[in-house]
A and B are shown apart, each in its own frame.
Chain A
């Protein structure tokens, strides 16, 4: 389920060129993060993958199949989509929201419901919330439901547009690590959009830094980008000039477990050992790079 953009341009009706001659290979079963400042064309790129937006020119393929030849509704049903404000249906209960796509696909009701409940477990939501309406959930819970819905039809591709943009930093960090865990288990082709570079480095196997018009400033593994910012723009965008980077704990502090601290690049910076805790994560040899943190 690799996705490829070949010389894709999107010019909107009002002549705005949101995406200008964009080419990128998005590898299968990895997380690719598109990161860049507001208005640089990230959402437009993402929405071209499920044909919510059609390119003005160029070709997008999924496993070498030109998606312009695929019926949009059929395409969208096999691609999970998670957006910033969850986009849940306000008049349907949580469980029905999660079951929406399988039901559209003709899965029997009882089966779809059972699967939806399992998905609530998967995304770390209490099944007691299944019969609530979205408006009765917190923002973070709504986002989890959004992720569960995105996974419901067991798609190979998951598109996520700033899914954690509207929650507070603590919940965001929780959701990010939940996603890392999920991705380890599920191995989807995830395309994740954010303007938060720390989030990009934390989640991405491949990070693509974009300038206006979706011009690629640099792409690669977080490690490569950090080691060699290609341009002045990248250097200032990743905050290489900031010197110090934030630390964030990995593994929510479950009692008795050690807590690993990583810097914004995803590298281990240290461990807070719990009394009698087990060393859940070993510190990588890359720690020295974050030595100043």
Chain B
């Protein structure tokens, strides 16, 4: 408990915020690595996930890579790549991106898969092209699940980006490594707390976006009238 309070005190101490080993620059780096990796993963994984979801071809592939991703030894992979490329930003980003790809593909696939077949059939029957079908029907209806996939990818990336400290980069992971090296547990715990808070914030933000993109008329549109009519019913019943 003491370590924990000390760690909190460390975090809120303005003296620790800036400077070469300060919280803010490391937080910035951590975010930078994470955003870069997630962004690259998005560019690769979204088209794949959408293509599989739209055509229904390649389902086995989705299942296979989500299984494989869970078993992936991230740190081992990072060292392995570094053996060939040397230290630097790109090995880290590559590993994090590899980590982020499966959940994004799975989310996109599951999202499109969840769209009512009749809705799709009708849209095609009135003359939408496959492209229009994808962007005007499937993606809007699947968006909450697509964002859900991105959300879990981002979460994993932020948590895992702590390994940046092992390959000569910074980020919040440095606090953990430096703290553990000199048995300064306060510092290590401060690092852990910072990573957790960052992860929760990003997760909360994406959860909010998920809520905002839920198509009106699909779930919120319905429920927004239902309680009102129920209330009306109750009022009607109350008056004798």
Contacts and interface: CB of A to CB of B under 8 A. Distances in A.
Nearest to B128: A104
B122 A81 contact: yes
Interface in A87-108: 87-93, 100-101, 104
Contacts of A83: 118, 122, 125
B125 A52 contact: yes
A73 interface: yes
Interface stretch (A21-29, A120-128, A130-138): A130-138
Given A135-B218, A136-B225, A85 B118 contact: yes
B222 interface: yes
B51 interface: no
B127 A87 contact: no
A73 B127 CA distance: 5
A212 interface: no
A215 interface: no
Contacts of B132: 104
Assign chain A's interface to a size class. 20 to 34
B129 A73 contact: yes
A42 interface: no
A135 B218 CA distance: 7
Contacts, number: 73
B126 A134 contact: no
Contacts of A90: 116, 119, 141, 215, 217-218
B188 to A, nearest CB: 48
Interface string A58-90: 000000000000000111110001010111111
Nearest to A146: B122
Interface in B166-183: none
Given A73-B129, A136-B221, A87 B141 contact: no
The interface residues of chain B, by DSSP majority, are classed as: helix
B52 to A, nearest CB: 21
B189 to A, nearest CB: 46
B217 A101 contact: no
Contacts of B124: 52, 76
A76 B122 contact: no
A81 B127 CA distance: 10
A91 B218 contact: yes
B218 A73 contact: no
B127 A104 contact: yes
Interface string B101-125: 0000000000000001011011111
A139 B136 CA distance: 24
B25 interface: no
A74 B129 CA distance: 9
Contact of A91 (B122, B127, B129, B140): B140
Interface of A: 47, 50, 52, 73-77, 81, 83, 85-93, 100-101, 104, 133-136, 149-150
User: Top 7 A-B pairs ranked by shortest CB distance?
Assistant: A87-B122, A133-B217, A91-B215, A77-B127, A76-B127, A133-B221, A81-B125
Interface of B: 116, 118-119, 121-129, 132, 136-137, 140-141, 215-218, 221-222, 225
Given A93-B217, A136-B217, 12 more contacts: A76-B124, A81-B122, A83-B118, A83-B122, A89-B123, A89-B137, A90-B215, A90-B218, A91-B215, A91-B217, A133-B221, A136-B225
